[in-house]
Every structure is written in structure tokens, then in C-alpha cells.
Homo-oligomer: A and B are copies of this chain.
Amino acid sequence: MNGAESLVRTLKLGGIDVCFTNPGTSEMHFMAALDRTDALRCVLGLQENVVTGMADGYARMADKPAATLLHLGPGLANGLSNLHNASKAGTGIVNIVGDHATYHLEYNAPLTSDIEGIARPVSDWVRTSPVSEGIAADGAEAIRQANTHPGRIATLILPGDTAWNEGAEPVPAPKPNAPAAPSADKIEGAVKALSSGKPTGIFLKGPTLREPGLTLAGKIAARTGARLYAPTSNARIDRGAGRIAVERVPYVVELAVERLSDLEHMIGIGDAEPVAFFAYPNKPSRILPDGCNVQHLATEEEDGTRALEMLVDALDAHNETPPVAERREPELPAGELTQDTIAAAVSNLLPENAIVVDESVSSGRQLNWQTAGALPHSWLSICGGAIGIGLPLAAGAGIASPDRKIVGLQADGSAMYTVQTLWTMARENIDATIVIYANRAYRILQGEMTAMGVREPGRVAKDMFGLDRPDLDWVSIAKGMGVEGEKVEETESFIDAFQRGLATDGPYVVEAVI
């Protein structure tokens, strides 16, 4: 078998089942190997940021990496910003990037580029396979890297001749290093803080925002009165009625500072502490009050869940019954369509076990508490601030979890970034209801300009923040890519449209004009 086939078989052997792709000429032998082996499900995206964002959404729900197949440097470059998001989310992905045959590079043909250089800023591991006999082993190592806790971006570059020359047998992926448990003295320090009687927070991150981490954290909270926090944006929180509630730190610096203002101890599970999303003149970068003692119980590479277990042990908190979020079913709202009536309707109508993909940006600032009492669901956010992840994340989650309803809460400006995803949703019949908050603006920037100390946007800025002139017509855009939808301008019709979306087995767009 040639190198390409040895790589495809290695991927399959290593537990990879799905390949998100937009292939080109240099990937033809890989495509042929996919044809021969039928080993992976292939999903086409019409631009590579759709491809990489889908791989992220898939891994967040499937709990294992997908592969992407990308066309040389430019194909990788097009997918770079959602790889940035995936990297910040701690998602594992195996990128396969085709390149020219090694002997062709010296001719500097149009598509020649520094692929390793493009890959490096968003990859934890990059390798170019120079010979076909080595590609299977390199692929196995890429899988090991991607599976390393909490998840890594591994980029393997496959020159044409490495693909088409004779390869070795497929190679089983080596076991990733298990995440280290935290040291006993860290546990001791945390116990001391939690027993101090002073206001103490636990800052959860990554996989601890799901079971069994949540229940462990809940027991610690029940035992000690600690408050549970999470970053503003997270790869996945399992939440809603019946689950341990965690407060996400608000985006707006002043609000965040206020919410955490009395904390004297913060125990980090993951190596970060709450920080401002941006720097602003005369505003702090750190959110915690001066003098708050910060300890990190586990870095992101360490086993945060194990750390919580050890803490439960040390606190003898196994028999605690942590309080859980209650079901709150806000009355169905009516009248003018606003962010708040949308939130109330979504919270009321969200189906059990839904996957919410939140790229609502400024329109969703209150969604965290507004949906806290919805039926249990998973909540996926944009983790790296690179807008344009919502639609691909929804599509990828749908590939991983075909039996769960996806609800996309989607800002209009961000949706445009990867609007091509709608076509993949139609093709793959992704069961997603996408609510477009059509405020006809990069509304967030109007607030940010004030936050930056500039009083009012002038003519130029208003023009650059506006998505009006012309208004985007989401129903036509969706129709153009094979997705049904409707536009609504008041709350009752939003509720009807949202319910029609939920009742549809496949993608449905609700353009909510607010």
C-alpha cells in the first residue's frame, strides 16, 4: 500500500472515524486511499475554517479527535482561526496537510509556502513526513499528540511523494501520557483555604465542567461554602436543571470585578485565573481583587478531576449532597422581540439533552443566568475569541451527536464569517435550529469603543460597525445553500418559528430581527 493508504489505515486504527475536509490536487492520493478503504466518514466544508471548526465541535461532543484534510499552506491558513479557537478550547485535532512532492518545492510553484510556519502558531505538534515509509508512524504519533490531555492540535504535513510512494504497514497509535495528578501539598494548601471561613472560589476549567468533575466540585462547595466559577467561555459545560450550577465570569470587566470583589481565596483547576478579555485604558487585566490568594491545584495538562477527587477525600466530603439548579420555566414571553424575550423562549422551549452552541456575542450577555433553569443541556462557547466558530461548531457537534438537537444562538456578524457552513448542514442534514440575532451590526464594537475611552463612534466607525446598507437577508442566504428558514420581528412569531425549527429534522434558520 502507498504512504497515503498506510496513513488512512493508521488513523482508523487509532480511533479516528471522521475526516472533515476540503481537499485539493496534492491530497488526491489520500482521497484515493479513503475511497479504497472506506475507513473514515468524510464531511466536506466549502471553506477550511468551516472544516476546522467542525472538527472542534465534533471532538467536544465525541470526546475524541477527528482528522482534517487540508490543501497545502493556503488550505491550512484558511482554517487557522478556528484552530486557534480549538487550541484555546483544549480540543484534540489531527490535521493532515498535503504539500507538493518534496522534489517540486525548489521550483517555487504558486502554491508553495512555509506550511510548518503557518501551522506552528496554532499547533502543539508539527511534523513534515519526508518519506512514505515513515508516514504511518508519524500519523500514529499525531494521534497520540491529539489525544494527550486535555487535547492537542497535531499537524502532519504530507508531501505528494510521501503519499504516492510505497508505505509501511499501519501503525497503532502509542498511548498518550496520562495526565499527572497534583501533588499532595497542593491539596493541603487548598484545604487550608477552603477551611479558612473566608470567601473562597473554585475556578473550574476544561473537562471538570462535566461529570464527574461537577459533582465533585459540588460536594466541595456543599462542604465548605466555596463558590464555583468558570471562565466566560468554555469548550463544554454540562448544565441546566438537576445539574451543579457554575457561575461563568462575566465578559464586561466592571461586572466581573464586582462579582468577584469579596473573594479572599481562589483555587484554580487549570492554570488560569479570571482575566479581562481585552485590555482597556485604566481598567485592570486581572479580575480578582488585590490580595486575593490564588492557588493552582492542577494545571491544564494535569488531571483536574483527580485533583477534585483528592480534595473531596481530604475534606471528607463524599457524602455531601450538593444543591443542583432547579427547573425554571419562564412564562413564554410576548411583544417586542428582544434578546431577553429570545432568552426566555429558548430557556422555556429548549429540548432535554440539547446542545447549545453559543456565539451570540453581545446579544447573549445575559444568557448564562437566563438559561440556568432550562432542561439539562451541553453548552459550547467560542474559546479563542475568533468569531466565526458557531455554525461550524454546531455542524461538527451534530456529526458527533446525531441524536441530540443542536440549538445555535448566533450573532449575525459572526455567522457571516463561516456562512458556508449552512451548505454542509443541508448536505449532512444536521439537526440544528440556528437563531440569528439580526441586529444588523457588530454591536459589540459600539460598546467596546466606549469601553476603550472613545466616547462615541463617528461616521467612519459607525459605518465599519454596521451590517446594514444593505441588510443581510438570512432567509435568502440560507435558501441559497439549501437550508429552510424564516424571518421574525416579534416575540410570538419568534416562538412559532423556533418551535418549527425544533420540530424540523434537519437545519432551520430563524432570523430574529432585534
Smallest CB gap from A482: residue in B? B470
Stretch at the interface among A239-247, A417-425, A496-504: A417-425
A35 in contact with B459 given A25-B445, A160-B278 (CB within 8 Å) = yes
Is A100 an interface position by the 8 A CB rule? yes
Q: Which residues of B contact A476 (CB under 8 A)?
A: 476-477, 479-480
Residue A77 CB within 8 A of the other chain: yes
B121 touches A73 (CB 8 A): yes
| CB proximity of A256 to chain B, nearest CB, Å | 12
Which of A38, A286, A480: most chain B CB closer than 10 A? A480
Contact A448 B416 (CB under 8 A): no
**Binary contact track A69-97/B, C-beta < 8 Å → 1, others 0:** 00011110110110011001000000000
Q: Does A385 contact B (CB under 8 A)?
A: yes
* Complex CA–CA separation, A34 to B460 (angstroms): 7
CA distance A473 to B413 in the complex (A): 22
Partner of A472, one of B272, B457, B460, B481: B481
Stretch at the interface among A104-112, A138-146, A208-216, A307-315: A104-112
Number of chain copies forming the complex:
2
Which of chain B's residues have a CB closer than 8 A to the CB of A458?
32, 35-36
Partner of A480, one of B24, B117, B118, B480: B480
A178 at the interface (CB under 8 A from B): no
Give chain A interface residues in 242-300, CB to chain B under 8 Å. 272, 275-279, 281, 285-286
Q: Are B461 and A103 in contact (CB under 8 A)?
A: no
By a CB distance below 8 angstroms, the chain B residues around A479 are 473, 476, 480
Is A47 on the interface with B (CB-CB < 8 A)?
yes
Contact B25 A454 (CB under 8 A): no
Residues of B within 8 Å of A84, CB to CB, are 73-74, 77, 113
Chain A positions 108-155 with a Cβ under 8 Å from a chain B Cβ: 108-111, 113-114, 117-118, 120-122
Query: Chain A 351-380 against B: per-residue CB contact (8 Å), 1 yes, 0 no?
Result: 000000000000000000000000000000
A23 close to B (CB within 8 Å): yes
Residue of B nearest to A161 (CB): B279
Contact of A121 among B35, B107, B118 (CB under 8 A): B118
Query: Which residues of chain B come closer than 8 Å to A451, judged between CB atoms?
Result: 25
- Residue in B73, B122, B277 whose beta carbon sits within 8 Å of that of A111 in the complex: B277
Q: Are A107 and B417 interface neighbours, CB within 8 A?
A: no
Chain B CB within 8 A of A437 CB: no
A249 to B80, CA, bound (A): 33
Give complex CA distance A22, B466 in Å. 11
Contact flag A74-B78 (CB < 8 Å), given A160-B278, A278-B26, A449-B28: no
Judge if A384 is at the interface, Cβ distance under 8 Å: yes
Question: A25-B278, A25-B448, A34-B461 are contacts. A88–B110 as well, Cβ < 8 Å?
Answer: yes
Q: Say yes or no: A427-B46 contact (C-beta < 8 A), given A81-B74, A120-B117, A278-B25.
A: no
Cross-interface CB contact of A388 among B24, B31, B47, B107, cutoff 8 Å: B47
A347 within 8 A of partner (CB): no
Among B38, B42, B110, B164, which residue has its beta carbon within 8 angstroms of that of A385? Answer: B110
Query: Which B residues are CB-close (under 8 A) to A385?
Result: 72, 74, 109-111
| A28 neighbours in B (Cβ, 8 Å) | 445, 448-449, 452, 454, 461
Kindly state whether residue A101 has any CB partner on chain B within 8 Å.
Answer: yes
From residue 61 to 75 of chain A, which have CB atoms closer than 8 A to chain B? Answer: 72-75
Interface centre among A29, A73, A81, A451 (most CB of B within 10 A): A81
B42 x A463 contact (CB < 8 A): yes
Contact among B29, B278, B449, B471 for A109, CB-based, below 8 A: B278
Cβ distance A219 to chain B, nearest Cβ, rounded Å: 30
Q: Does A386 contact B (CB under 8 A)?
A: yes
With a cutoff of 8 Å between Cβ atoms, the chain B residues found around residue A473 in the complex are 479-482
Let me know if B279 and A101 touch, CB within 8 A.
yes
A204 interfacial contact with B, CB 8 Å: no
Chain A to chain B contacts (Cβ below 8 Å), 21 pairs:
A23-B464, A25-B451, A26-B278, A29-B452, A29-B454, A31-B449, A32-B461, A35-B459, A74-B387, A77-B386, A78-B386, A104-B276, A104-B285, A109-B275, A109-B277, A111-B278, A111-B385, A113-B122, A416-B423, A475-B480, A476-B476
Please list the 5 inter-chain residue pairs (A to B) with the smallest Cβ-Cβ separation, ordered nearest first: A470-B482, A35-B458, A477-B480, A74-B386, A476-B480
Q: Which residues of A contact B (CB under 8 A)?
A: 21-26, 28-29, 31-32, 34-36, 38, 42, 44, 46-47, 49, 72-75, 77-78, 80-81, 84-85, 88, 100-101, 103-104, 107-111, 113-114, 117-118, 120-122, 160-161, 164, 233, 272, 275-279, 281, 285-286, 383-388, 413, 416-417, 419-420, 423, 426-427, 444-445, 448-449, 451-454, 457-461, 463-464, 467, 469-482
